[in-house]
Amino acid sequence: MTYKTPVRDMRFALDQMAGFSSLIRSGAYPDLSGDMVDAILGEAAKFCDGVIAPLNAPSDRTPTRLENGVVRTSPGFKEGYAHYVDGGWNSLAFPEKWGGQGLPSTLANALVDAMNGASMSFAIGTTLTTGAVKAILHAGTDWQKKTYLPNMVSGAWTGTMNLTEPQSGSDLSTLRAKAEPAGVNHDGTTRYRISGQKIFITYGDHDMTDNIIHLVLARLPDAPEGTAGISMFIVPKFHVNEDGSLGERNDAHCIKLEEKMGLHGSPTCVMVYGERGECYGTLLGEENKGLKNMFVMMNAARLDVGLQGVGVAEAAFQRALAYAQDRRQGRASGVKSGPMIPIYEHADVRRMLYSMKALVEASRGICYANAVAYDLARHAPDEKQRAKAKALEELLTPISKGWSTDRANDVASLGVQIHGGMGYIEETGAAQHMRDARIAAIYEGTNGIQAMDLVGRKLQGDAGAAIKAYIQDVREEATIAKAGKRDDLQAIGARLLEAADALAVSTNWLLDAAKADQAHVLAGATPYLRQFGNVAGGYYLARGALAAALAVREPDADKAYLESRIATARFYAENYLTEATGLTAAVTAGAAPIARLDPAALTG
């Protein structure tokens, strides 16, 4: 199987599902045109298919390694990354002032989708750099921006996010890394001596660039306890001289590479800062306000992780589809002799493939709509449009991350199942997708945390206003589809309306329950996120189906493709919108079903 970037699907999702045309019409990017978008996606496909995809399977067999204190990436990664930098891919959506191209972040997010389909191990390092750039853009001093951004925007230097410690995972209140004043930098700002250990640091060290810019969470000597006392520091692998050249090596080192279930080509480092007492950095933003900067990175990373799910699920689907057409086994129902048929002809195999396809496209629609909202929230000329887009961006972020990565795991598992016994054998490649996808539901805030965010800040923060407005948009789309002249559109509309009504019931129940006991809300958080994601996926697929039903009438229409978009939405409606309707019972069951039991009673 050879991975192929799904350019046609990506463009369809942008234009017909996620509302990218509204970004073009807004005037926020006056030089942006459909032809430019086509050119960018076309070149991205050439890069991903020709340069990155061939690295994926070999990197799984030949992981990164730590040799005498130096991290060596998998064969071809260094050369592939050089192509990435030379192509200007890292700079797509960053300000021209710092060497960027000033294009919408939505296009950079589409690239994240494509690159993760090609190789999740390779792509993950690039998203950490873009997140670090956003944090420095948000909180950096003029000197910090001038010193670090040009090379980070271009990708010549990479960036990392250093949060987790052995005793401090999702809860950062116990973070122990220290930062102590230690003189003055040549720009007049305070210099800090950094000490501590960080774990699970993606691309914390590697051999692909000359410098790595670490963003490290640490505590000042007089910092308050808990999360209120965390600051963020820029800690470069090599110090940067006044003229921009590289200076001395900083006392920041990788001492171990984690041996992971998947993503073998991605170096996940245990980092030690100040082992010799000579690690120095500068404060990024205000003292004790490090979490504010972290969430700038984290929110961007959560959408990127959702797109990791889309990409790896796409790759799993492509592999399973190719295998199902090639593998011959069994005969058609009622046929007792003759040649074996491709397993694609068996109804249950098609059911699994259609499930994979529907979940991939639903996830892509959610994440792309999230990306469009991000751009409109920052660049739409109209203030009301920006405010509405910001509310949508914040609402969709936990859905993009949580639902899309959960579904990526479902898709990758189905891919193994379609391969049968050969899916459990490493040589087919199906198992790698499953192993790689698994982490996406865990890092950048586990999906349970995403669900808690959804029912907490997102639902209760405005008394449900944003979610209720979203449900109303879904109902309006469902009503249009239900009134259509085609039976399939009517079925999509009916199922979507039922699911939207069920989501509304769950939403109102959670709002009422929150007034009495938050335990009931937290107990229903995960099924609520799943229900919301199912409805959101159905909403964007329905938008695409309605657009396809109009386009299919055109004389030069690609009728087979457009009909497949309608059929995919119909399949999703019958299988996943019906699931959404049934989830209200799980959401509204409250905390009683998960009342605490004595762990001893749970063992045989």
Q: Minimum mean pLDDT among 254-258, 291-295, 447-451: which range?
A: 291-295
- What is the pLDDT averaged over residues 464-487? 96
Q: Is 556 exposed, middle or buried (0-12, 13-18, 19+ CB in 10 A)?
A: exposed
158-291: in CATH 2.40.110.20: yes
Q: Are 233 and 283 in contact (CB under 8 A)?
A: yes
Query: What number of other Cβ atoms are within 10 A of residue 84's Cβ?
Result: 23
> Active-site residue 444, yes or no?
yes
Q: pLDDT, tens digit, for every residue of 432-473?
A: 999 999 999 999 899 999 999 999 999 999 999 999 999 999
Question: What pLDDT shows up at residue 298?
Answer: 82
8-64+73-154 CATH pick, 3.40.50.880, 3.40.50.1370, 1.10.540.10, 1.10.3720.10: 1.10.540.10
Q: pLDDT, tens digit, for every residue of 196-245?
A: 999 999 999 999 999 999 999 999 999 999 888 999 999 999 999 989 99
At 187, is the secondary structure helix, strand, or coil? Answer: coil
SS3 content of the chain, % helix, strand, coil (to 5): 60, 10, 25
In the structure, what pLDDT confidence band is assigned to residue 547 with cuts at 50, 70 and 90?
very high
Question: What pLDDT shows up at residue 340?
Answer: 87
- What is the pLDDT averaged over residues 179-192? 89
Beta pairing class for 212-218 and 158-162: parallel
Half-sphere exposure of 526 (CA within 13 A, CB side): 9
Of the chain, the percentage scoring pLDDT greater than 90 comes to 87
d(CA 486, CA 515): 44
Q: Are 268 and 316 in contact (CB under 8 A)?
A: no
Catalytic residue among 361, 393, 444, 477: 444
Rounded alpha-carbon distances, angstroms, from residue 548 to 362, 555, 562, 563, 569? 15, 13, 5, 7, 11
- What is the pLDDT averaged over residues 74-89? 98
Encoded amino acid at 33, one letter: S
